[in-house]
């Protein structure tokens, strides 16, 4: 079994190459929708005393003949301690024998595959004439979302808001090194763009319904655990709602609170992103539609990304035979 750390993964696949991951993520969503994969809902351990949780996320792909399990935490207060909010490890197994092939750092994989999923949603659900991006929340995931989304088409303007202005300044410096310019704006200004990306850990709605114009596409990324929500439920009532997975979204996605309160029902959900990728359902059908992608993060995304990186690792190191220890 190989142990592949984050530094090694970043060497073989720096963030600037994120566009090359989009097809892999597209295949992950498509294969899941076509029943070529197994993915039980993620399991949670809640650490209420410490305002955090631990998640266990298994998946198996018939197409890859590989399985993978991710263990990942989410602790919003970690940055105050000099730690990342999200940290993870992934084990991938050969499905033919069960042999563990690699233990991989999953922190970078989690970030980059989530960004790629958001870009994929924007590809299918943003209106064709979309030229502006608004981002609410300037943490690490905002970086991945922006880097991936600009790979699907040319955007003229990116406005970012965060309650911490220093977080926006930090993001601005990082993106400037990649040749990407962003502007600091208010939450209302960010919400008024063609594509809105929310990446906060909020447990109360922060995006007001009156800020959202017809034709807007929203990638709701931040709500990934029970009780979290970023959008005014009235937005969901106006929107075509697309989930990554119904079971996960209903108990831990953007829709979880409105669903638990009866504000929206299962019949109000248009479908999954995988169904759109697999052409079971059309994506955006009008430039006036408001579309929302409820992203909870799928183990199948982790598996396909880990498999992709494992392939690159083998290629770089000219590995022909598995080594077991």
Alpha helices in the chain (DSSP H): 6-12, 22-33, 107-125, 140-149, 165-177, 187-191, 233-238, 246-252, 256-260, 273-277, 299-317
Token duo for residue 159: 């406005």
> CA separation (Å) from 273 to 123, 137, 200, 286?
11, 23, 21, 17
Q: What angle do CA 160, 162, 166 make, to 5 degrees?
A: 100
Task: Assess whether 181 carries a catalytic annotation.
Answer: no
In whole angstroms, what is the distance from residue 192 CA to residue 183 CA? 14
Q: Which of 23, 49, 70, 181 is catalytic?
A: 70
Residue 321: CB atoms within 10 A of its CB come to: 5
Report the catalytic residues. 70
């Amino acid at each position: 079994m190989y142990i592949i750390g984050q530094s090694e993964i970043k060497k073989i696949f720096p963030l600037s190459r994120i566009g090359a991951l989009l097809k892999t993520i597209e295949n992950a969503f498509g294969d899941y929708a076509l029943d070529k994969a197994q993915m039980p809902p993620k399991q949670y351990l809640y650490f209420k005393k410490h305002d955090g949780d631990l998640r266990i996320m298994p998946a198996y792909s018939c197409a890859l003949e590989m399985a993978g399990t991710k263990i990942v935490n989410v602790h919003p207060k970690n940055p105050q301690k000099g730690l990342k909010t999200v940290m993870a490890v992934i084990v991938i197994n050969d499905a033919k024998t069960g042999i563990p092939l690699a233990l991989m750092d999953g922190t970078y994989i989690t970030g980059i595959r989530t960004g790629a999923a958001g870009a994929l949603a924007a590809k299918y659900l943003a209106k064709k004439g979309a030229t502006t991006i608004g981002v609410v929340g300037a943490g690490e995931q905002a970086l991945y979302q922006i880097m991936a989304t600009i790979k699907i088409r040319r955007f003229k303007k990116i406005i970012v808001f965060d309650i911490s202005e220093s977080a926006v300044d930090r993001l601005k410096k990082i993106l400037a090194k990649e040749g990407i310019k962003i502007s600091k704006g208010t939450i209302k200004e960010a919400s008024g763009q063609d594509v809105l990306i929310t990446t906060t850990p909020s447990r109360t709605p922060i995006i007001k319904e009156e800020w959202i114009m017809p034709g807007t596409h929203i990638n709701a990324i931040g709500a990934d655990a029970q009780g979290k929500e970023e959008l005014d439920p009235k937005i969901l009532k106006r929107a075509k709602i697309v989930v990554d997975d119904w079971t996960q979204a209903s108990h831990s996605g953007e829709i979880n609170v409105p669903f638990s309160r009866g504000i929206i029902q299962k019949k109000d959900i248009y479908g999954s992103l995988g169904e759109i990728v697999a052409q079971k359902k059309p994506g955006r059908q009008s430039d006036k539609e408001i579309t929302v992608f409820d992203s909870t993060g799928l183990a199948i995304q982790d598996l396909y990304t880990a498999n992709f990186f494992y392939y690159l690792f083998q290629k770089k190191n000219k590995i022909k035979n598995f080594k077991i220890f």
